[in-house]
Amino acid sequence: MMAKCYSPGRVTLMTIELSDEQIRSVLQGISVPPQPQIMVDLQMEQVMPDPDLRTIARLISQDPGLSGALLKTVNSPFFGLANRIASIQQAVNLLGCRSVINLINAQSIRGELSDAAIVTLNRFWDTAQDVAMTSLSLAKRIGHPAPDEAYTLGLFHNCGIPLMLTRFPNYMGVLEEAYASASAETRVTDIENRVFNTNHAVVGYFVARSWKLPAHLCEAIANHHNAFALFDDEWSDAQIKTLLAILKMAEHICACHRVLGDQPDDREWEAVAQQVLEYVGLSEYDFDYLKGSIRELGVS
């Protein structure tokens, strides 16, 4: 199996051959959640020549948690609907198959956690949705050709965090230390590697791989705290760099440094802001305007 291996001492990924034993070693006993059966059923429907949205809506309506997550998303301020939607069928019609499947994948992570862990990670769930919707909005505003991919990356880029918490009870404290130490020279993941010998980006990468997300999205997840090095490398993949630029802007707008890192200043954004804005062709004034308009939609 071809896979990407993240090394604590490197800033990029290398394509190497990993055995099942090596993967288990990298994950250090962390259980990557399998796709739930409803996910399998939905994927089977999606690959049909003409997917039946009525069948998709019927499958989702069998699960109260999935139904609630779907309605919460479609009724968010980002969609700007005049009236709230209460119908699963209407919500599925509006979002489409791909976005619906992304939401179900996100919910399956929650199913792996204890009640205590879910309470601890309330801020994570809220941030994941905020970053996803902000990434979608940013992608549309800067003319990115695949805004749904920006949404997917926003939703899943931190999917390794809850799984790290299941393995390491002190994880959130270490994550806060990592955000406090972030700079051009020190990545958030460097601190995690020092303490745990792995990090949420590489765990998230293997989750994304197991769910068969596109390869470039998997690599973007693995590298989402490597932005400074990637933007400094003219040979880095342009597709991944654009997605990461959108993600970094979204994380800053959603104040992930406060919500996840419990830090007053966004040190990671300070390190990459100039590179990111230059890459997407935005001035600081343009970005401040975007930030203000998106926050008016309800991002805290």
Quick check: 13 pLDDT over 50? Answer: no
Residue 233's domain spans which residues?
2-33+122-295
Quick check: 32 pLDDT over 70? Answer: no
DSSP code string of 20-32: HHHHHHHHTTPPP
Statement to judge: residues 142 and 41 lie in one domain: no
> Quick one: pLDDT band at residue 31, thresholds 50, 70, 90?
low
> Quick one: pLDDT band at residue 10, thresholds 50, 70, 90?
very low
Sign of torsion over alpha carbons 83, 88, 92, 93: negative
In a domain, 126, yes or no: yes
> Quick one: pLDDT band at residue 103, thresholds 50, 70, 90?
confident
Least confident segment among 24-38, 67-81, 149-163, 203-217: 24-38
Return the pLDDT at 99: 78
CB 165 within 8 A of CB 117: yes
Return the pLDDT at 298: 67
Statement to judge: residues 73 and 222 lie in one domain: no
* Domain closes at, from 85, 111, 137: 111
173-194 mean pLDDT: 93
- Roughly what angle, to the nearest 10 degrees, separates helices 122-141 and 147-156? 160
DSSP code string of 209-265: HHTT--HHHHHHHHTTT-HHHHHT-TTS-HHHHHHHHHHHHHHHHTTHHHHTT--SS
The rounded Cα 13 to chain-centroid distance in angstroms is 18
Tell me what the pLDDT averaged over the chain comes to. Answer: 80
In a domain, 117, yes or no: no
Return the pLDDT at 245: 97
Least confident segment among 72-86, 193-207, 227-241, 280-294: 72-86
More confident position, 247 or 161: 247
Burial status of residue 170 (CB atoms within 10 A of its CB: 0-12, 13-18, 19 or more)? exposed
CB 70 within 8 A of CB 168: no
Statement to judge: residues 43 and 28 lie in one domain: no
> What is the C-alpha to C-alpha distance for residues 246 and 154, in angstroms, rounded to an integer?
9
Return the pLDDT at 2: 33
Statement to judge: residues 213 and 104 lie in one domain: no
Least confident segment among 11-15, 61-65, 66-70, 112-116: 11-15
In a domain, 9, yes or no: yes
Statement to judge: residues 97 and 38 lie in one domain: yes
205-228 mean pLDDT: 86
**pLDDT exceeding 90 applies to what percent of the chain?**
33
Quick check: 201 pLDDT over 70? Answer: yes
In a domain, 59, yes or no: yes
Cβ atoms within 10 A of the Cβ of 169, count?
Answer: 11
In sequence order, which residues have a C-beta less than 8 Å from that of residue 26 and are 6 or more positions away? 5, 6, 18, 198, 202, 206
Statement to judge: residues 19 and 46 lie in one domain: no
For position 239, which CATH number holds? 1.10.3210.10
CB 240 within 8 A of CB 271: no
* Domain closes at, from 57, 91, 111: 111
Statement to judge: residues 61 and 166 lie in one domain: no
Return the pLDDT at 278: 95
- Consecutive H or E run containing 83: none
143-163 mean pLDDT: 86
Residue 229, CA distances (Å) to 16, 219, 280 in order: 20, 14, 16
87-114 mean pLDDT: 74
Statement to judge: residues 247 and 129 lie in one domain: yes
In a domain, 103, yes or no: yes
Statement to judge: residues 100 and 162 lie in one domain: no
3-class state of residue 4 by DSSP = strand
In a domain, 281, yes or no: yes
In a domain, 193, yes or no: yes
> Quick one: pLDDT band at residue 22, thresholds 50, 70, 90?
low
Number of H helices, E strands in the chain: 19, 2
In a domain, 116, yes or no: no
Quick check: 82 pLDDT over 80? Answer: no
Statement to judge: residues 240 and 265 lie in one domain: yes
CB 47 within 8 A of CB 91: no
Quick check: 286 pLDDT over 90? Answer: yes
Burial status of residue 113 (CB atoms within 10 A of its CB: 0-12, 13-18, 19 or more)? middle
Statement to judge: residues 23 and 135 lie in one domain: yes
Instruction: Specify the number of domains making up the chain.
Output: 2
* Domain closes at, from 111, 139, 154: 111
Statement to judge: residues 136 and 223 lie in one domain: yes
